[in-house]
Structure 1
Amino acid sequence: MTSMPSESVHPSDPDDSRAGLARSSDLQPILAGIIAAFVGFAGVFTVILQGFIAVGATPAQAASGLLAICLVQGVLAMWMSWHHKMPISIAWSTPGSVLFAATGMLDGGFPVAVGAFIGAGLLIVAAGLVKPFGKLVSSIPPVLASAMLAGILLGLCLAPARAVADEPSLAIPVVLVWAIVGRLKRIWAVPAAVATAIVMIALHAPTDGLSTAHFMPDIAFVWPEFRATAMISLAVPLFIVTMAAQNLPGIAVMKLNGYEPPVSRIFVVSGLGSVVTAFFCGHTLNLAAITAALCAGPEAHPHPGRRWIASVSAGATYLVLGLGATTAAALITIAPPVLIQAATGLALFGAFGAALAGATAHAADRDAAMVTFVTAASGLSFFGVGAAFWGLVAGGAFMLLNRRWAR
């Protein structure tokens, strides 16, 4: 292993007169951070909970996982942002939760999935500590990583249409609110759809579905079980989609806004945080992409040197939102399934569109990307290893064949 490289972590320093003006308007980044955390949580918490349940977690374990990742990502975001004085936003791996839904229950149940969560976290640590490994990860063709993610997302993004067909009276209001609010303010479209789904749950769920126990935060501990098949079918794809769909875009957003983030340090810290959360049913932590754009851009503060306050504010807000994880999980269990499916699918439309655009960006590699896409979407499984991994293998082999043939 090599030591972590020394990296520049600060944007250009302001002059003294601008610094004084910047400090006088710190309410702006505080509010920006609160909004970023609320949008990030409300938009995809259903995806997170559904993912945990898909790989075998009980509702209590799913709630514990959501609480754990909210608490740890909030603490890490606050500490990293304050220490480096830049908006370092930490988030959960939404593509990872989608992968869980596509993978389904592993042989051995949820403890085996927890072992895979730990494996993915350790791979992220290795990417930060071992330079050759980090370079190897970055050499994975982006078109194949995007195609794999698009294949994983496809089934979930079809859910709103299926929900409308099965239960139109429940699903159509959710879809209409998403469409109308999205035309007015796109960033609020998914939270508005989730809020509508919650209203529909309140109207149609049993009156005795919630008790006072559902409003109390709860943490569950799971001792992991490590199996080679789970490492190949879940840990490796989880690591790849987290790096390709979360960490790399998060780095790009920060650089676009003039920051040079401490990449290796972020990988090590978020990977270790992922390992800690796994013991409490949580999964992978990483750099945020959407939240990073909200906290690192000029909307957070006109001066780059004060935008770190937005990430600290977002982290603190996640600590508060995490306390509602048990209630959120309880709502999922009593809700009509079509409502959760519709809300989950709508929350992933943007990610699916971006992944599909990335997969088809280069005409020369489009065939290989489509092989990856259809294989990952097919749900096939060989030797206990799921479709996401085989999609990457099939697409990579096809790409290699094409390039060798061209030569």
Structure 2
Amino acid sequence: MSLKKVHKHSWVSLAVCWVIWVVIAYDRELIFRAANSICEEFTLTPTEWGYTIAAITLALALLGIPINAFSDKHASGWKRALFQWPLIVGFTFISLLSGITSLSNSFYKFASLRILVSLGCGVAEPVGVSNTAEWWPKEHRGFAIGAHHAGYPVGAMLSGVVTAAIIYYFGPENWRYAFFLGIMLAVPALTFWVWYSTKQRYAEFHQSCLDNGFTPPMELEQEKPAIAASTVKQSPLKKTLRSRGILFTAGSTLITHVVYIGFLTIFPAYLYNIVGLDLAKAAGLSAVFTVTGILGQLFWPTLSDKIGRRKTLILCGIWMAIGIASFCLTQGIVSVIIIQLVFGFSANAIWPIFYATASDYADQDSMGTANSIITCALYVGGAIAPILMGYLLTEFGGWHSATGYTWCFLLMSACAMVGVALQIILSLIVRNEEKQQRLLGN
């Protein structure tokens, strides 16, 4: 079915949620763009840096499930905008505080503030994904979540550009200035979204789905059928955890995110210590992969609407495995840029497909919960990654040894293939179940 028939409210919601996602991505990725400056100021070893990123990343996983289960129950559909405003404005304000030197002039002060930021970011991600999915018909869910997530590489790119510019124009000692931008973008975007996301507009979108032959993402409140008492007792979390599709997808998400966070953890240091770039160039060029990441966010999720989620996850995962392993072959700055662009085409694109898959498997009143499970798995894997990378770098000579980086790239490639294997296993299980059902039918 043509995208031209999708209601204008869906497009407005996508545009606003995209801007909000850019803000989240920008704020979250700053820690990686400023990695070399942080490690130098606080004299961190690879192992200490790994544990720092692990703590900050693990914080992203802590509150997502309970708070998103609460939002499913009390703030689904058009109400999620009201839920988002204090959440996102709150953590961008804390991020601003981490940019004030007097408040973050010791390692523990800085790390504590970034952990608080992560607690908010980890809740905001599945809320934003669910909000996008609830404003689009099911037939175009892959496209919508992919286009929404295309904001992530844009935010990541922006973090590299801003950090590089600040280091270049204001000096390496003022890298914290980059943390001031997030709240400037968050307040107007969230305020507009609260004004726009109303019950009336959501009803208009819902009716448009029916008129154009689309499947609405959820029923309107007044149309919900009576629910049996036994069903009411089942929490969204319990129902979601019984879905094998969601659990397998969460497993793939966990192991695959070792690749992404592992890459972010070591790559700026690789450019600075091995390739030989200065701090500004390392910060800026560490985000080159986001250029093709934007294209991948549109291509792969839209493909998943056509050929299926699992097939797309398998193809995208193989691309990611080959791309990350190719960094072992770099010979200079040109090859680093080319391989980044190849890797980037899959690096960001796989996450919206995981979210779209979870949304497909979830009940309509459990979408936020399902997406929060994916987010939790995402950042548990993300917390494991920097510990592994820091350990490998330390064991093979520290920041200035190329051997440690090579082993990190190979390990990340293997993790991507494990994620592919889980999707293949799920495909075989589903195919076997369908075969048995056909035999029983005959």
TM-score higher than 0.5 here? no
Higher relative contact order (CA 8 A, sep 6+): 1
Which protein is richer in helix relative to its size? 2
- TM-score, scaled relative to structure 2: 0.27
- TM-score, scaled relative to structure 1: 0.29
